[in-house]
Amino acid sequence: MDVQGGLRPGDVLEHRYRLLQVLGQGGMGRVFVAEDLRLAGKRWAIKETVPPIGDASGFLREAELLARLQHPMLPQIVDYYGPSERNRCAYVVMELISGVTLDAELQHRGGRLPAATIVRIGSQLCEALVYLHGQKPEPIVFRDIKPSNIMLDEKGRVRLIDFGIARRFKPEQPGDTLPLGSVGFAAPEQLRGERTDPRSDLYSLGAVLYFLLSGGQYAALRSGPLAVHCTHAPEPLLRLVERLLEQAPEHRPQHAAEVLDALRALELKPRLESMGGAAAAEMSVRSEPRLMLVGGLYRGAGATFAAVCLAKALAQAGVDHAVAEHPVIEPELYALLDGERRAPQGYAFANERSAADMTAPATVWIEGYTEWVASRPGAEADDWTAEQTERWLGTIRRSVVIVDIGDRWRHPAVATMCDAAAGLLVVADPSPSKLSRSQVQALLRELDGLARRGVPVTWVANRDAPSPRRGDWLRMLPAMPAISLPAFAPQRMLEAQWLGDVVPAADEAGKAAAAAFAAFVQRAFPRGITASGPRRKSIWPPMRRSGSR
């Protein structure tokens, strides 16, 4: 690659970033470690590349696109600069990730990684692909998944580190501009210069899994069945890799979510098989999703706001979870989150995920550790049944499922969930007229009864502010609120919602809300997801859950 006119260690990019050393170099450019001259002690990774002649505007469009991505397995891009008259190179400033690349880790381990570790790596890569392929208006195809572009950070998490040839998938485009990709990991259609789509990334994922399972061999050079080269791999994993490596895209799995489901099932199975009798049954029960219901004492108390705050705290703690809007309440989550822009194409709304025999995975909306399960706007379903709720919950495969029930505690489809829940969060705000209503007082007695039966009930004081009557308000509740959410300025709430963020996180009030829920998560899950809270009767039918999404 011609990098004449590029920068060298010691140079300063745009009067801000001093290049310290070359971190890596390949066919698509160089990566530098740079120090930030404005933020003392801060270091970044800076990718230097030469865009195709006449395509500077295309580079800027793609860089702007990638800078908007937010996912824990993708590096955060913070700045970018196009070519200039004096320098043909373009630069992308991104998060500097400490860790080791996957190929280096395999070499360090003598070419052998445990199958369980490989499955976990595959699952995390799939989560990133579900996010990328779900982008709007078109999916983002990474196109260069290979071990040297995959890093294990200091916490053991998978990170995709090079977006050099990622592109939007445009159905009307007959082929890619250039047949880019890494031999040994690129899909056959990519190497031929034909059109790539999300299934091309799934082929590359299969090639990476094969590389890890075989101790460093390339899938394209294999002969004979996979089992000959991957002797320590479980048969279901080999079958999945075989499907991913099909030459024709239509013969591969069609969605990353489908592959993610299969890998997650493999993650659980070895743990169960290694245990005997009662221990396996215990693990199976504890592996069920933990159901958390979030509701308001009355409409407008702030249940949706509290559910999103809880989701942010779980994401910060690294817990995979879902926020599900129960179909019996008036839909608002999709609009609040700017679903028209952020939800993936073909997204399956909450009230469309109740089929008893779902034969294909639903298109899910995953951002980082959070899956959003929103109802279709204008589709409130008051006739929703408890049986439909069971089937619906069975399509959500996350460790924690937060269900926003609004103020519909007494609806039959909601009431049956309360005794099965791992916890209830009840939201109230300082509105004396609403608190004194007879139906609210009756609901308070019912919630107190649930608490006496052993269902953990946590009270949330929303819009809590210093006031001479604050004590009177709190005494109207059956228990002192464990979570206090401050009042946000109405203008800031509106601004945040127009940006698709329910919680204005940068405000002092937002920081206080985050701290309150972080403390709750620490109390509720003191030893992680599987060990905290009482065991309860599950409302997920195990046979129904196993093949659905």
Q: How far apart are CA 182 and CA 167, in angstroms?
A: 15
DSSP secondary structure code for residue 289 in this structure: P
Q: Under DSSP, is residue 158 helix (H, G, I), strand (E, B) or coil?
A: strand
Residue 144: active-site member: yes
**Signed CA dihedral, 544, 545, 547, 548: sign only:** positive
> Beta-carbon neighbour count of residue 132 at 10 Å?
24
Widest Cα–Cα separation across the chain = 79
Instruction: Give me 485's structure tokens.
Output: 């959410």
In 3D space, the residue among 201, 232, 220 whose CA is nearest the CA of residue 139 turns out to be: 201
User: 134 and 365 in contact (C-beta within 8 Å)?
Assistant: yes
Distance CA 208, CA 148 (A): 10
Q: Please, is 24 exposed, middle or buried when counting C-beta atoms within 10 Å of its C-beta (0-12, 13-18, 19+)?
A: middle
Rounded Cα–Cα distance for residues 390 and 353 (Å): 11
Which residues are bridge partners to 528 per DSSP?
526
In the set 2, 144, 201, 501, the catalytic residue is 144
CA–CA distance, 486 with 101 (Å, rounded to integer): 43
Residue listed under structure tokens 């692909």: 129
The structure tokens listed for 327 are 């179909």
Give catalytic residues, as residue numbers: 144
